[in-house]
Copies of this chain bind each other. A is one copy, B any other.
Amino acid sequence: MVRYCLTIEYDGTNYVGWQRQITGSSIQQELEDAVKAFCGENSLVQGAGRTDAGVHALGQVAHVDIKRKTDGNTVRNALNAHLWPQPISILKAEVVPNDFHARFSAQARSYVYVIINRRAPIAIQRHRAWHISRPLKSASMHEAAQRLIGKHDFSTFRASHCQAKSPIKTLTSIDVRQVGERIEIVTKAPSFLYHQVRNFVGTLKLVGEGKWDADDVSKALEARDRQKGGPTAPPGGLYLTQITYPPNNP
């Protein structure tokens, strides 16, 4: 049994999310089907981040155990051949020690959320960004976002059906950058609560519109109450960009 670490890009638009569900097609299921088609083995593909329906990944990481003797490049090419024409691509497949775990070995997750801020609807970026027509002040959003950094009870930004044991998490960084009509919210943490990034973005939008200021964000955070936070931003703007592992891991 050899363990492979997979780095994966996908367009999440037409999937129910990372995790297998009876309601539709999931990234995890498609990968397990590709493994089966490649080597005839039933497998469990374990992902580092369980992205939601409509959320994309540029650098999801997962591991899978395969009995058949082979190598990383063969696994990558074979899975890509079986995944085609679905918008799921194995960027890299590497042999890892059997104690490597995509989820539990991970030290940090990085996400980017993309907003297109202009009057006209978006066409090319449809389902890949959040279109906001009212002008946003991205500098104010960045300033307010800094209030979220550190170790906090993030109940205000936690989805009601979040399964995490504790709402206490440590946010490492969150930056709001604008180039022309494109605003990116780039954030990193050891781990996130369910919907946490999208709830941050929905709240920061209120700041960008001038309805809230940085103190309102602090107050919302301190309230530890989902009702006091902003709305949940739509999934299409969110990308899982990177999973960070300790040195000597992939």
A-side residues, CB < 8 A to B, are: 9-11, 56, 58, 76, 80, 83-84, 87-92, 118-124, 126, 128
Contact = CB atoms under 8 A, between A and B. Distances in A.
Contacts of A92: 120
A60 to B, nearest CB: 11
A87 B124 CA distance: 7
Contacts of A89: 120-123
Copies in the complex: 2
Given A10-B123, A56-B124, 6 more contacts: A11-B126, A76-B120, A88-B123, A91-B118, A91-B120, A92-B120
B120 A124 contact: no
15 contacts: A9-B120, A9-B122, A10-B123, A10-B124, A11-B124, A76-B119, A76-B120, A80-B120, A83-B121, A84-B121, A87-B126, A88-B123, A89-B123, A91-B118, A92-B120
A126 B89 CA distance: 10
Contact of A123 (B87, B120, B122, B124): B87
Nearest to A127: B87
Contacts of A126: 11, 87
A10 to B, nearest CB: 5
Contacts of A84: 121
A122 B86 CA distance: 10
Give me the 6 closest cross-chain CB pairs, A-B, nearest first.
A87-B123, A89-B123, A89-B121, A9-B123, A91-B120, A89-B120
A120 B11 contact: no
A69 B92 CA distance: 59
A54 to B, nearest CB: 13
A95 B58 CA distance: 43
